[in-house]
Amino acid sequence: MSRKYEVIALSVGGQNNKIFKNGDKVDDSNFGKDRADELVKGGFLKPLDDKKNAGELIDEIGTAETVEQVDEIVGDYTQKSVLKAAKEKKAELTKAAEELALEEQIKAEEVQKLVDAKLVEIAKCETVAQVEELVAEDDNEVIKKAIEDKVADIKAAEQD
């Protein structure tokens, strides 16, 4: 299906040296392969069958924060420059998500190391006072549970 455009420049050269003037209605067949896309992006033509021109969509794609938003912006738009921009933005967003996931994994591993070290400290405690000193320093749920268990063990040992 051939897409229709309006010439918005003073004039545009088409196939067979045909000159189209401002306001003329043209379609893909008036230009060489992919040339209409370039003319839209360059601000010479305005698509008549789309709500937004390629340049506007490319700008909007650039502001997308998720792959889903890119898909929503592109919709069923088939212009190559828009699809290329969408593909590049999706790749950028996917890479950023992967980096964030890796950072989160590293952070979780670091937190686990801290928890493990704190659990070793708790195990070394011999009095409730020592354990309570650790309680004031930490708000991690795993550590809180370990502290509660250690206090209970110490109290049980004191009663024996």
For the chain, the DSSP string reads ---EEEE-SSEEE-GGG-EEETT-EEEGGGSSTTHHHHHHHTTSEEESSSSS-HHHHHHHHHT--SHHHHHHHHTT---HHHHHHHHHHHHHHHHHHHHHHHHHHHHHHHHHHHHHHHHHHHHH--SHHHHHHHHHH---HHHHHHHHHHHHHHHHHHH-
Any domain includes 115 = yes
Any domain includes 77 = no
Any domain includes 57 = no
pLDDT, tens digit (0-9, with 9 covering 90-100), for 82-92: 888 889 999 99
Higher-pLDDT residue of 20, 3: 20
pTM above 0.75, yes or no: no
Any domain includes 119 = yes
Domain count, the chain: 2
Any domain includes 83 = no
Higher-pLDDT residue of 133, 104: 104
Any domain includes 65 = no
Domain extent at residue 152: 103-159
pLDDT, tens digit (0-9, with 9 covering 90-100), for 42-71: 999 988 865 567 777 888 888 889 989 888
